[in-house]
Amino acid sequence: MLPLSAARKASLLDKVRPALAQGRLGEARAALEQVLPSEPDRGDLAFQLSQICFEQGDREACLRYLDRAVALAPGQPQVTATAIERYRALDRPEQALAAYDRQIAADPKAIKPRADKAHYLQLLGRFDEAETLFRALIKRHPATPELYRIFLATKKLSAGDPLLRAMEKLWAKRDLPDAQRLHLGFALAKAMEETGQTAKVFPYLARANALQRKAAPWDSAAQAREFAAVRKAQAGLLPAPDGAPPLRPIFVTGMPRSGTTLVERILAAHPEVGAGGELGHALKLAYGYFGAGEQMRPIAEEPTARVRAFADHYLRLAVRDSGHGRGAITDKSILCHLIFGLLDHALPAARIIVVHRDPRDIALSIYKNHFALGSHRYATDLADIATSIKRFRANVAHWKTALPGRIHEIRYEDLVTDPEEQSRALVAAAGLDWHPACLESHESKGAVKTLSVSQARQPIYRGSAQAWKTYETELAPFIEAWGEEPWD
């Protein structure tokens, strides 16, 4: 190939920005790939290509260009930050940890890079390394409550641990900002429960949840309208002809803290299944292709090509994020229950698993856990948690009627009581032959990207079943809001 002239390179590069602005990713990529061989030391071009390839769903090209950008510009902050995000998402843990180390070296006094690395080590199951980092950070920054909350997600304190006294002392400060008290409240509630001081658990939780609610209020009526509109938009959909795509999703959904992580780990332990985790693409793409929430258009009236484009786009991103181009993958996106009709229509080879659990245990676990600000806004009020669980159950009931035989339901309590029988039924429902590795899901090495990070590393156990009985009095607002509806 003849070398590009300066004028030709300039012409190609001039095409990139407008092409990206208009969503013509392929055109932008082609221009950059023509220029890069003649500019081998330009890390910015490799970095831009990695971004484009990521958006296109081309996992291997994204990583190849990202590796090159990192090698050419290891100290560039944007490259380092993106490398952390991409390497984590695309299951390259050692490269992600190396990028964290570069970020730490660039600003040795900053708390966040060290805390983020420690949290990532938790997700990887490397709890001892994470503890070493967290304890060093807390020693240097004892007035940073978020460190306690994240650390204690995978650490059980003993009654004499000095961190417990440090947290109580910090809580007593009248001038502690609300944003910090919020994190400290969740941390102290967990510590109180684990040290047997159960009478102190809910006072801390009530304060923490009230502060979270103040920062991110919940609009129950808006959720009701959204759910109803999205269901209505899927009326009249029929399953598409059952093709044989190389990748077959297994959607696992349920309320948060219902046991979906355990179910996914059991399935992903099967040698023919890849763990996708909470991919989050299906609903996001559905809203992008057909209208968001209350604005969703009747999908049965949409062009067939648009539905096909939705399915192809989802599968492309699922391949990218899971690293599996063939066989089955799990997708544990919680809100997929909103679009079961669309998924059945656009991805007829997919399987749908719904996980149920005693609502009282779900409510307790939701209320005890901190969620990212703005997500699961109902989680800060026990009565609102009851409303949200009921809406979830109503959605499932709707789709069971609309899609007979398509939804496999499993109860968490049954699974932990009789793991082999329930796991066999689960694997069969996923369209797979039985494999004994599914009973050893705790031995899986992949990162756990949910609040269940600690439990996922343990064998199946019954310890969290009926935990609500310890706090039956405190759960009265939830039980009253639940009313006469059966628990099962």
244: CB partners within 8 A, 6+ apart: 349
Residue 122 pLDDT > 90, yes or no?
yes
Give the per-residue pLDDT at 335. Answer: 94
SS3 406: coil
Structure confidence at residue 446 (pLDDT)? 56
pLDDT, position 486: 87
What is the model's pLDDT at position 441? 72
Give me the pLDDT at residue 457, please. Answer: 46
Dihedral of CA 44/49/55/61: which sign? Answer: negative
pLDDT of amino acid 376: 95
CB 99 within 8 A of CB 87: yes
Under 8 Å between Cβ of 270 and 441: no
Q: What digits encode the pLDDT tens for the residues 245-302?
A: 788 999 999 999 999 999 999 999 999 999 999 999 999 999 999 999 999 999 999 9
Interval 221-228 mean pLDDT = 97
Rounded to 5°, the CA angle 53-334-475 comes to 150
Give me the residue label for tokens 């990207």: 449
Name the amino acid, one letter, at 144.
T
Q: Which residues make Cβ contacts (< 8 Å) with residue 199, sequence separation at least 6?
A: none
pTM of the model: 0.90
Q: Which domains does the chain have, with CATH numbers?
A: 1-107 (1.25.40.10), 109-215 (1.25.40), 221-482 (3.40.50.300)
Q: Where are the beta strands (DSSP E) in 265-316?
A: 273-275
Q: Indicate whether 226 pLDDT > 80.
A: yes
Q: Enter the DSSP assignment of 338.
A: G
Average pLDDT value for residue range 131-152: 96
